[in-house]
Structure 1
């Protein structure tokens, strides 16, 4: 049976997420602000949660109700038959986005919806679901838009960007979903060497390794919310897990991450070990000035610090100039990318860009700069 779904993603990554969903088998794909509508069956729902690299979660809309004010919202939520989706022995969490004139506090709106659901349970069965905001069995997503509320079941639970392999993080970690999107944008393929000379805790390289080895990121998670749904098909899910495990590859091209900070290199090595690819990706403590190309051609990508205050930005001028010098002198034949959130810093690279791609990194407007090193 074909069902309508909505995959949430970071602002600016909607088209990339849509392309990924199409590759996974989604139909009627339609990008929207911070998400993508699509259609598919139960197998596709499970498959996307298991394989998607650029989205946060998959929602299944169940009802759109009028919600001009708190009273109307409560009434209309309580009028729905929640026994189709939730049993009193299951824990619940309600998460709300959006607002209108009278429903302008998402936390209060979420409580109103929760109250309507558990009040119905109490009236019908004499018992009600407990609230669990950490590991709930069932997650209800509510989105207020004008005078309507779109209610959805969250099939995912904890955001997909939390792969589960990265307990160690640097000071400004890149989300795994954005790292994967950057790799799609650069059109890196598993046959190409990949270098990150400012690798931090290793996110870009680890995401590339998972792609290159065809490892489903969902394999690192213990559970998804759809496994608590009444129609959960354990046999189908088991077959998809087995298929994913059998499709993994064994070898990668040259993949190297370096950083001057010994502590973050240890973090990167720890993360690589956690996803059982420690022997495939090499992380070294090395200063940027000492880096050399490990092959005649490949992809170089890095996410250097941007600086917030003027004094911090000025202090980074030498780093960006050194990046340009290293690219020009040591990486002829390579394609290099820098993700930066500061135009003044990008000028210090001193090289002509072949492409400038707008990227949003955690609310910071950034640009992915592409350099062809002939």
Structure 2
């Protein structure tokens, strides 16, 4: 049986998600701002949750109606056959997103969806599920436009960028699916050296290592669909085992990470170890301005911690030109990629960007700047 799904993703990565879903076997793939709609059977849903590096969630569409008031939304929730898919013993939470909705209170609309779902269970089973706002077994997503309400069951549970292993956190972390998307946009291949000179918690390093070793990004976690009646546990475990068997043996990788702050390096080291990648990535304490290229060619990728460790505009104004000089002196032959919301970097760094890709880190509008570094005379 073919189901209808929607996968949100970081804005700017929709085309990459289309390619990924198509490769995994999705049909009726349609890109929209902020995500991709597609069709497929349950094994496809399982594979996307397990293998997608770009998707944030996999939402299964279970109901849709046109509406003019909260009463029509309640009727949709009541008529949806929830009891076919999970039991009242599972806890629930309702999430609602709206665009151009005429309703006066989205909180009230959320409450009416919850009422309709619970009344459905009371009618069918004589028992209603409980609400758990912290760790629900089943997450119901509602999407409301000016005249349409669509209901989804979230088959992922926790968002997919939560790979299930990170222990050490840092300020302004980069979400894993955005890091994976940036690696894809850079054109990096596993046989190329990769360097993140401001590595923070190690998102780029871990995603690159998992790509190099063909490790499924969801291999260390569970998913929401495992709580549903439609999940054939034996078939799911067979599929999961087959995907996990592709993992290559651990080996030393041409992936390098550094940071001027030893605490950041320690965070990367801790997270790499938690992901089963201890010792595979080369880490060092170093100022990015003093780094030497670890290879004649490669990919430099980073999310500069502007405004975090360099707190004043004057410090930034002095630092970016020095960074441009260091890149040109020591990294000729490399491709450099900077994700930043500081759009003045292009003027300050003193290098000509060959590409500027708009991306969003959560709700923060950013640019991914590409610099193709060639040998030449330094600036005065």
CA RMSD for the aligned pairs?
1.8
2:231 equivalent in structure 1: 232
TM-score by length of 2: 0.93
Shift, 1:43, TM fit: 1.4
- Matches of residues 204-219 of structure 1 in structure 2 within 5 Å? 204-219=204-219
Does residue 74 (structure 1) correspond to residue 38 (structure 2)? The answer is no
1:316-350 deviation per Cα after TM superposition (whole angstroms, max 9, x unaligned): 12322222112111111111111221232331211
- Matches of residues 248-259 of structure 1 in structure 2 within 5 Å? 248-250=247-249, 251=251, 253-259=253-259
2:159 and 2:268 mapped to 1: Cα distance? 21
Unaligned runs of 5+ in 2: 375-380
1:133 and 1:207 mapped to 2: Cα distance? 30
- Matches of residues 1-374 of structure 1 in structure 2 within 5 Å? 1-98=1-98, 101-221=101-221, 223-250=222-249, 251=251, 253-307=253-307, 312-374=312-374
Name which of structure 1's ranges 101-110 and 180-189 shifts more when overlaid on structure 2.
101-110
1:256-284 deviation per Cα after TM superposition (whole angstroms, max 9, x unaligned): 11101111111110000000101111221
| SS at structure 1 position matched to 2:344 | helix
Q: Is the 8 A contact 2:29 2:39 kept in 1?
A: yes
Shift, 1:20, TM fit: 1.5
Q: Is the 8 A contact 2:3 2:61 kept in 1?
A: no
Q: Is the 8 A contact 2:14 2:36 kept in 1?
A: yes
1:290-336 deviation per Cα after TM superposition (whole angstroms, max 9, x unaligned): 2111111110111112339x973332123222221121111111111
Q: Is the 8 A contact 2:139 2:157 kept in 1?
A: yes
TM-score by length of 1: 0.94
Q: Is the 8 A contact 2:93 2:138 kept in 1?
A: yes
Distance 1:79 1:26, change over 3 A: closer
1:143 and 1:41 mapped to 2: Cα distance? 22
Shift, 1:232, TM fit: 0.7
Name which of structure 1's ranges 183-192 and 25-34 shifts more when overlaid on structure 2.
25-34
Name which of structure 1's ranges 119-128 and 349-358 shifts more when overlaid on structure 2.
119-128
Shift, 1:230, TM fit: 1.4
1:182 and 1:30 mapped to 2: Cα distance? 22
Q: Is the 8 A contact 2:209 2:253 kept in 1?
A: no
Name which of structure 1's ranges 143-152 and 19-28 shifts more when overlaid on structure 2.
19-28
| SS at structure 1 position matched to 2:269 | helix
Shift, 1:252, TM fit: 5.3
2:156 and 2:124 mapped to 1: Cα distance? 28
Q: Is the 8 A contact 1:358 1:368 kept in 2?
A: yes
1:252 and 1:38 mapped to 2: Cα distance? 38
1:313 and 1:22 mapped to 2: Cα distance? 44
Q: Is the 8 A contact 1:213 1:252 kept in 2?
A: no
